[in-house]
Structure 1
Amino acid sequence: MLEHIPSLMNGIKMIHVVSQYYTTSERMSSLLLKVTNQMISTCRSYLLQGVRRVWEHSRPVLLQQISDYCNLNAAYQRSFHSVRDKLRGNPENRQFDFSENYIFGKFDSPSGEDGRHGVHAGEPGCSAEHEGGGRGEDLCSLPDHRLHN
């Protein structure tokens, strides 16, 4: 999936630059949030592939899946920033000035009013309590010693 992120973001940029409907920050932010939500949904499915709870995976498999999740998040944000920076080079174009917290917050932070943000150790099937930790931890921020013990 990583190799498709730049093309996806370029397509979103083209929608923003050309479309008459996606001229507002609110509409573009909503579109980008839908992309984020779909990535999170795909990551959840990937993490639960073949098991009922992520902790049922062998440690090496789980570590690789968590790494893949974190790499996807990083690539998505890098691609967004790359497009934003290129558009800033030409001030005549519509700019990518959207709330990054709104767009990436679900990837970056597991906490929220509904408790359903991102893929994190508090997810059903992903209980950090099973591994001796608290609930609601972000998978990308679990300390190495918690994952490798």
Structure 2
Amino acid sequence: MRRRSLRPRIESAAALLGLIFAGCSEELGPERIPTTTISGVVVAAGKPLGRGWIEVQPLDGSLGDPGSARLGPDGTFRIDRAPVGKLVVRLLNIPIDLPYAIWLFRNSSPIRLDTQSAPGSPRTIDVMEELYRHRKKMEPAR
């Protein structure tokens, strides 16, 4: 009695499955979420913050993973693969002596950025300007 090899049958079945799923690869694979690069400097009243972290998170329907970067000694940062769209910016461990500011930028930061798919020009984020803007927004209208 001759023994037949199963190898040709397995190869044929694999080829057939490959042809069936070749047209469905886009529907079966994960959808790519667009990202961009954000760079710039974080300052307080015009002076660079020499330490801390900056973190960005999607906001208002924007998609993507949070991104973060350490602030350089000159306050500069660069976040690769940042989400595209509306973002909230949080600042962590920044050298500011105002307890309210530290709490605000860590928990419910008022800083917002809009990003596009192509990297934009470097951004300047002034912590004191953001605090002033937030305070004005929270004051009741007279």
* Greater share of helix: 1
Which one has the largest radius of gyration? 2
Same fold (TM over 0.5): no
- TM-score bracket, normalised by the shorter chain, equals under 0.3
The two structures have a TM-score, normalised by structure 1, of 0.25
The two structures have a TM-score, normalised by structure 2, of 0.26
* Greater share of strand: 2
